[in-house]
Structure 1
Amino acid sequence: MISVASYNIRKSVGTDWRRDPGRILDIISEIGADIIALQEVDRRFGSRAASLSPEMVAERSDYFAISFGVREQSLGWHGNTILYRQGIDVLDTKTLTLPALEPRGAVLADFQVGHERLRVIGLHLGLVDLWRRRQAQSVLNQLDVLDETLPTVIMGDLNQWTTEGGCLAHFAENHQVIAPGPSFHSSRPVLNFDRIITTMDIDVAASGVHMSDLARKGSDHLPVWARIRINAQAREIAQSA
């Protein structure tokens, strides 16, 4: 079993308007996932410095952060990065540029988790429905042209207000779209902004929203999580198709 999670940390600024990266790391430790996609990890203006440094992640937690940033002080690619637990190997990384009115991107990492290989994509889609749909299709198109296909988890803040349709329709054509539960606003969650999407060769054993007292204060989003296993038989059928 592999556990994954996604968390929009709002640049480590909590609902009390304090920037507290230590609190974010405490919440991440509470979740206890093997791999975590983070959104809004970098500050918005100036040098776009990371609100959560790789050094602090390594010192204060059992995780390592993949640096996708092109700026010297940034960690994320358009705010997206991925953390992974010690003992997991990173096989490859890639950044994806997405069409948008404002800068948007996604990050990709291939992992070796025990005997399994897993591809993870972290993303943060736009606020406008037309562009969200274009961004979802762009992610799928960029996956299609990769040299190797792997069991894949796509997760992040989709900014999708509706429970179906829109960008979700694109993902649902050949993927499982999981709504772990309402994750926004953390003080009174009513919207399923944060989603986890998997290829059909992955079984989802459980999913949910992490709703600890600390998580309600850490960001305006709550973290979402899923426990998954790779279905070897489904994988073989997909490869032979």
Structure 2
Amino acid sequence: MLKVASYNMRKSIGTDRRRRPERTLEVLREIDADVVALQEADRRFGAKQGVITPHLLEEHSPWKAVQFGVRTGSMGWHGNAILVRKEAQVLDCEILHLPALEPRGAVMADLRVNGELLRVVGMHLDLSGLWRRRQAHAILAHLDASARRLPTVMMGDLNDWTAQSGCLRDFGRHFTFAETGRSFHARRPVARLDRIMVSSELSVSESGVHDSAAARTASDHLPVWAAVARS
């Protein structure tokens, strides 16, 4: 059994308009997931450095960031990052270029966590429904073309409300959605923008939205989580 989580951390700017990366880590420690997909993990302007510094992550968390070879100081790629427990093995990783009008991307990592092999894809899709579908097709095509097949978890901020249409329907043809619940807006959640999906080799035993006092102020999104295991 592995616990995974997805969190649009909004560059660690909370609903109180304060940037506090240590508060973001507090929320993540509350969830205590084995693997975390982050969105909006980098600063928006300038060199786009990671908001959570390597020192802060090393000294105050049980995780390490998957290194995607980006030299800008980013935690990942276009704000997408993957955290894994420090004892986990990163077997392979890559960035996925997505079609978009503005910079968008996804990240993928093959991991060995607690002895289990797992492929994780983290993403933050477009606000436009047309571009979201194109991005979903690009991700699915990339996975389909992979020479190595692994049990796969995909998660992130999909920016889509309706499961019966758009990119959610496209993903749903190949993956099962965890019933995580409404995650946006953090102060009064009305929309299921943040999603966790698993391939047929995996099942979800529990899932939900992490709604704590810290989470309600740390970002405008609440984190979502799921416990997954081999089917």
- In structure 2, give the amino acid aligned to 1:20: R
Distance 1:173 1:7 in 2: 24
Distance 1:79 1:72 in 2: 12
- In structure 1, give the amino acid aligned to 2:127: L
After superposition, give the CA deviation of every residue in 1:183-232 in whole Å (9 maximum; x if it has no partner): 0000000000000011011010010000000000000000000000012x
RMSD: 1.1
**2:106 corresponds to:** 106
- Aligned-pair CA distance for 1:28: 0.4
- Structure 1 unaligned regions, length at least 5: 232-241
- Aligned-pair CA distance for 1:161: 2.1
Whether the 8 Å CA contact 1:179–1:192 is kept in 2: the answer is no
Whether the 8 Å CA contact 2:48–2:72 is kept in 1: the answer is no
TM-score by length of 1: 0.93
- In structure 2, give the amino acid aligned to 1:145: A
- Aligned-pair CA distance for 1:61: 0.7
CA, structure 1 residues 179+100, in 2 after alignment: closer, same or farther (shift >3 Å)? farther
TM-score by length of 2: 0.97
Whether the 8 Å CA contact 2:180–2:195 is kept in 1: the answer is yes
- Structure 2 unaligned regions, length at least 5: none
**1:137 corresponds to:** 137
Whether the 8 Å CA contact 1:47–1:71 is kept in 2: the answer is no
Q: How does 1:16-55 map to 2 (within 5 A)?
A: 16-55=16-55
State the aligned residue count: 231
Distance 1:178 1:31 in 2: 16
- Aligned-pair CA distance for 1:69: 6.1
User: Counterpart of 2:52 in 1: which secondary structure?
Assistant: coil
**1:235 corresponds to:** none
After superposition, give the CA deviation of every residue in 1:10-55 in whole Å (9 maximum; x if it has no partner): 0010000000000000110000000000000001111111111222
**2:86 corresponds to:** 86
Whether the 8 Å CA contact 1:163–1:192 is kept in 2: the answer is no
Distance 2:192 2:87 in 1: 32
**1:3 corresponds to:** 3
Task: Spell out structure 1 runs of 4+ moving beyond 3 A.
Answer: none
| Pair 1:205-2:200 in alignment | no
User: Counterpart of 1:149 in 2: which secondary structure?
Assistant: coil
Distance 1:56 1:89 in 2: 21
User: Counterpart of 1:168 in 2: which secondary structure?
Assistant: helix
Distance 1:114 1:22 in 2: 26
- Aligned-pair CA distance for 1:73: 2.2
